[in-house]
Structure 1
Amino acid sequence: MKRGKKYVEAAKNIDRQTLYEAADAISLVKKNATAKFDETIEAHIRTGCDGRHAEQQIRGAVVLPHGTGKTVRVLVFAKGAKADEALAAGADFVGGEELIPKIQNDNWFEFDVVVATPDMMGVVGRLGRVLGPKGLMPNPKAGTVTMDVTKAVNDIKAGKIEYRLDKTNIIHVPIGKASFTEEQLSDNFQAIMDAIVKAKPSSLKGAYLRSVVLTSTMGPGVKLSTAKYVG
C-alpha cells in the first residue's frame, strides 16, 4: 500500500519496536495529525476474546468525560409522553411506525444513534436487517433500549460511545479529536480503558488485552504498553 509523503514523514517519529506509555502515545499521535481537517483519534484494542462464544462477547457503552468532538444526531423510537420527553431532551428525530418505510424504502439515515423504548422494539425489530449491519440497532447493554429516554439522549449528546468486538475480536473506539488537549484525550482514553478492563469475560483464559494502538484518521499507529491495564 503506497503511503503519502506526510504519512511517511510522521512514521519516522515513531519507533515501531517501542510500546509507549499512554501520555507519550497521545502526544505523538496528536503531533502527527497534520491533515487539513480535525482528525479523529481512535484506539484499536485487540483482545484475546473469541466473540463466537456468547460469554466472551464484549459490548457496552461509556460516556467520555470530554465528549467525542462530534455532533451526534439521535433518533428515538417512542410514543406518547415518552416521545415528548425525547424531544424535550434534545433528540433530533422522534417517531414510531411511520419511520419504517422512510428508513427501509427511502434509505433515510440522517442519524448516528438509535434509541428505543422497550415497547417500541417490536417496531424497531422490523428494521433489524438494515440497522443491524450499520451497527445502529438499539441494545439494552448499550443503554439504547430504555424507558429513561432523557438520560439516554443526554448521555449520547454528552459523548457516550459504544464499544464492541468486531469479527476479528478488536474493539475500535474514538477517543476525541486532534484539536483536543493531551489532558482531554488522556481522560477520555482512561475512561474507555477502565470500562473495557471491567468488561473482561470471567471465562477468558490467557491474555485479555493483546495490543492497544492509537492512531489518527490519516496518521500512523502508535503501540501502547498494556502492562498497567493487565492486573
Structure 2
Amino acid sequence: MQLLGSLCRQCRASFPITSPANARLFATSQALLARHKQVKIRTPSKKTLAAKARKRALKAKKNVYDTEKMSLADAVAVLRAVEVGRPNATYELLVKTQMKSGVAVPKGRVNLPREAKPKEEDKILVFAEGRQAEEAKRAGAHVVGGPELIDAVINNRHQAATILCTSALIRTITPKLGRVLGPLGLMPSERRGTVTDDIAGYIQRLQGTSEWRADKFGSIRTAIGKLHFPAGDVVRNVRHFMTSVKRVTGNQKDGDEKRGKSTKPVTAISKVMLSTGQGPGIRIEDF
C-alpha cells in the first residue's frame, strides 16, 4: 500500500490509495531508459541490400525488347514505325564494352558514309619543335609547342580532343603527362599512331573524320543516323562504326595482328543497342 497524500474534501484528512503491482511505468522511468540503451539498430549488409535490389528488379515491369534480340535491319524497321511522326528524330547507337583494369579507354575516329549531324572541328595540340612544328601549324594544328606546354596542359589551360607528339619529345613529356592524360585516353601512344614524325600527314587523315570515345564504364554512345535516312544508309553507318570499334578493341584483326605480331589486349563487346528519342532500345544480334 502506498500513501499518495490525497485529501478528503469533508475531513481534510489524507487517505491511502493503493497502486496495482502491474501499473505501467512512465516512458521516462529509469528502467525503461536503460532498456532502450541496450537495443542496437541492425544495419543491413551489402549482400542483403543487393538481394533486395535484385528482387525489386525482377518485379519491375520490363520492356519486351530488354531480352529479345533483333537483326539490325528489323530493329531499324521497328524504330521507323514507332517514330513515324518524327522524321527528323535521331538513331542512337550504344556499344557496351567489358573494360578491364589497366586497359586504356577505347577511343577512335571514324568517317561515316552518311553523317547524322554536322561535324565539329576538334582541337589538335602537337608537341613538336623545329621543322616538324612548322609543318604541324601549316597542316592546321591549333596549339603547337615543345616541353613548355606541359604545365599548361596539366593546369587545363590547353584542352584538346587530339594530342600528337614527335618521337623526339615523347620521353620528355611522359613522366609528367602520363598520369594526367593516360586515364583520359589522350596520352600520345605509338600503338595508336599519335606518336609520329609525320605530324602533317596524321592531321590530314583526321580531316573529315569524327572521334568516338567510351566513358569510364566502357559505354560508347553516338548518333548514327536520322529517321528520314533510307534504311540502307542507317545499316551501312552502323556496320562502318562497328568496324572501327572492333579494330580499336581488338575484336577484329588485320595486317600484322593477323600474323600474330600484335599483343594488343582484346576488350570484349557485350551489348549493342539501337534506339531513338521516344522509341525502345533494341539489342542487335548481328553486330
The answer as to whether partners of 2:65 and 2:280 remain within 8 angstroms in 1 is: no
Aligned pairs for 1:1-231 (under 5 A) are 15-25=65-75, 28=79, 41-47=92-98, 51=100, 61-66=108-113, 69-105=119-155, 107-125=156-174, 126-159=176-209, 161=211, 170=218, 172=220, 174=222, 176=224, 181=229, 185-195=234-244, 196=246, 197-199=251-253, 209-215=269-275, 221-226=281-286, 229=287
Which structure exhibits the higher relative contact order, with contacts defined as CA atoms closer than 8 Å and separated by 6 or more residues?
A: 1
Which shifted more, 131-140 or 61-70? 61-70
- Counting aligned pairs with the same residue, the percent is 25
Cα deviation, residue 114, structure 1 = 0.7
The answer as to whether partners of 1:85 and 1:150 remain within 8 angstroms in 2 is: yes
Cα deviation, residue 78, structure 1 = 1.1
C-alpha distance in 2 between matches for 1:211 and 1:150: 37
Helix, strand or coil: the match of 1:172?
strand
Which shifted more, 155-164 or 88-97? 155-164
The answer as to whether partners of 2:97 and 2:270 remain within 8 angstroms in 1 is: yes
CA offsets 1:135-188 (integer angstroms, 9 cap, x no match): 211122222111121232122232154667x776x4525355659946555434
C-alpha distance in 2 between matches for 1:179 and 1:88: 39
Q: TM-score, normalised by structure 1?
A: 0.65
The answer as to whether partners of 1:19 and 1:225 remain within 8 angstroms in 2 is: yes
The answer as to whether partners of 2:153 and 2:159 remain within 8 angstroms in 1 is: no
Structure 1 spans left out of the alignment, 5+ residues: 1-10
The answer as to whether partners of 1:89 and 1:153 remain within 8 angstroms in 2 is: yes
Larger radius of gyration: 2
C-alpha distance in 1 between matches for 2:200 and 2:274: 33
The answer as to whether partners of 1:43 and 1:214 remain within 8 angstroms in 2 is: yes
Q: TM-score, normalised by structure 2?
A: 0.54
C-alpha distance in 2 between matches for 1:211 and 1:149: 36
RMSD: 4.2
